[in-house]
Structure 1
Amino acid sequence: MIPQDELLQLKSKLLPNGAEPVVDILSQYFQQIEPTQIILQNVPLLILGRHGMIAWIPDNGKLQKSSNPDDILKHLQTFLPSKQTLYLFVNLPELPVPEEVTQVLKEISERHRKRLMLQEKIDAALDARDRQAFLKAVQELQWLNEQENVPSHGRLPDKF
């Protein structure tokens, strides 16, 4: 069985045309979906890939091959209520993250790391009763906090 939220996370990937309704129906029957890392033969199987889908779904006792999204959806709507297991092979790339977003995430991570380091310095200075080290670390932390409150287009208001 595949967790339902894992199935829904497929929507955050580059899905082929027509795959969204297929993922929706799979998430309704997640208890019957078994993920696989290999392509199996002679079993109900759905392959989701970047450029399309292929399914082998039983119909009248025979596995029917479908690659048309509408046909796949129709076969799944007939097959899944039967409570049989469907194997799912997923080969989808992640959505590309723009360079600007990656840079912002890196900056935020660095500020967070620096903030944690400064809080550790403050704690150590308090433990050692070192007033100078404490004041210096607090001043650095205040400066860091002030820098985060100033976006590139101007200062945010103190209250909304």
Structure 2
Amino acid sequence: MKKHDFEARREALLKDIREVMDDVEELYRNGVEAGSEEGSKARAKLEEKLAVAKERLSRFEEEAGERLRHHAERAREKYEQFEEAAQERLKEGKERFAEFEADAGERLKRGAKHADEVVHEKPYYAMGFAALAGLVVGVLLNRR
């Protein structure tokens, strides 16, 4: 049911209820006796309008309930879709992080192994480089 139809039916129902209330008020104001012909006609008219209003109210409640169930179902479906997508993205993120972690660990091991090999092949170069680095750090610290 479209929103416009729902609103139109709600307005029609409220109009019927107002009419019934106006008729009740008119009966009360006129103080029609229970046995008079005018009172019987007014009462019959009122009962007819009341029956129509009750029927419309009943249909309105059913349609409102259907609408509520429909929207609740759609909301649940959207939530489930969102939850599935979020779980999938989380899983992908964890997998990518694990790959990155493994790759970084492997690169670090290769770098350390290469440095160890260079130091073993040319120990004097390594000592010279360490001495030069120490000298540079010492000069920089003494400049303060």
Question: Higher helix fraction: Structure 1 or Structure 2?
Answer: 2
**CA radius of gyration, larger in:** 2
